[in-house]
Amino acid sequence: MLLPRLREEVLEANLELVRRGLVLYTFGNASGISRDQKLVVIKPSGVPYDKMKPEHLVITNLEGRIAEGNLRPSSDLPTHLVLYKAFPEIGGVVHTHSEYATAWAQAQRDIPVYGTTHADHHTVSIPCAPPMEDEMIKGDYEHQTGFQVLNYFRDHELNYEEVEMILVGSHAPFTWGKTPEKAVYNSAVLESIAKMAYLTEQINSNAPTLKDALIKKHYERKHGPDSYYGQ
């Protein structure tokens, strides 16, 4: 079997999405990439998570041609491939319809920096790309979804290594990271931030965003040159 370790990692990432309550039934998908071999490991389409074994995962090349596997890959594979090709440092991609993050996508709103959990991870709002144009939807939809993400990052000069997540308007979130595990972590963090931001606006619809000093403090203690958070 090709890439046994990466198969295990990607299976574990998919199961973690279930354990964290980020997916319902077979919705959602996680993948990982071997940059050496230029092969992607992704969840098969429509297989229940509790029945999923490493051998069920599908391995494709960067053009989506199956290198190993008898099952069909997740229908969102083309989106993952676009992101892997454009973002050379990422090792994993996750797509879910987790409820709070998806609600922000459906409301077509960026998630403002209301709290320090957000600032621990990002200094800017979590971006929401606009809904896709009809022509993109009618065409190769999943492939074009990847370009909707790329276009937004390019137009807004966002750095994919600093902002590892996006909401696609009228759809749902995509996250990525250095590993499949980190991409799942980002999905869970995004869901938590989305929920807290929603609750914040319910309690106070004029809630202020976080002060710059707090954004800077929280981000830099984790990510700055003098970071001191963690071991």
Site for Zn ion in 56-115 (CB under 5 A): none
User: In the bound complex, which residue of the shown chain has the CB atom lying closest to Zn ion?
Assistant: 172
Active site residue 120: yes
Which one of the spans 5-13, 63-71, 127-135, 165-173 is the region binding Zn ion (CB under 5 A)? 165-173
- The two structure tokens encoding residue 184: 């799942």
d(CA 188, CA 177): 12
**Residue 226 is among the residues annotated as catalytic for this protein:** no
Q: Closest CB to Zn ion among 167 and 172?
A: 172
Does residue 214 contact residue 206 with C-beta atoms inside 8 Å?
A: no
Piece of 53-61, 122-130, 147-155, 164-172 that binds Zn ion (CB under 5 A):
164-172
Shortest separation between residue 137's beta carbon and Zn ion, angstroms = 13
Place of tokens 């492939």: 143
Segment interacting with Zn ion, rule: CB under 5 A, options 101-109, 115-123, 172-180, 197-205: 172-180
Helix (H/G/I), strand (E/B), else coil: 105: helix
**In degrees rounded to 5, what are phi and psi of residue 157?**
50, 45
> What order of strands is seen across the sheet that includes strand 173-177?
66-68, 58-61, 39-42, 29-34, 92-95, 173-177, 165-168, 128-129
Tell me whether residue 60 or residue 98 sits nearer to Zn ion (CB atom).
98
- Site size for Zn ion, by CB under 5 A? 1
The distance of closest approach from Cβ of residue 28 to Zn ion in the complex, given in angstroms and rounded to an integer, is: 8
Taking the least distance from each CB to Zn ion, the nearer of 13 and 172 is 172
Residues 6+ apart with CB under 8 A from 92: 10, 13, 30, 31, 32, 33, 176, 177, 178, 179, 180, 181, 182, 183, 184
Select 39 or 126, whichever has its Cβ closest to Zn ion. Answer: 126
**x-or-dash string of contact with Zn ion, 196-215, rule CB under 5 A:** --------------------
Residue 14's closest CA among 95, 105, 100, 97? 95
Residue 24: φ, ψ to 5°: -120, 140
Rounded to whole angstroms, how far apart are CA atoms 148 and 225? 33
Q: Binding segment for Zn ion among 1-9, 11-19, 168-176, 200-208 (CB under 5 A)?
A: 168-176
Q: Least distance (Å) from Zn ion to the CB of residue 173? A: 9
The active-site residue, picked from 36, 49, 76, 120, is 120
Give the shortest CB-155-to-Zn ion separation in angstroms: 22
Q: Could you list the active site residues?
A: 120, 229
- Which parts of this chain interact with Zn ion (CB under 5 A)? 172
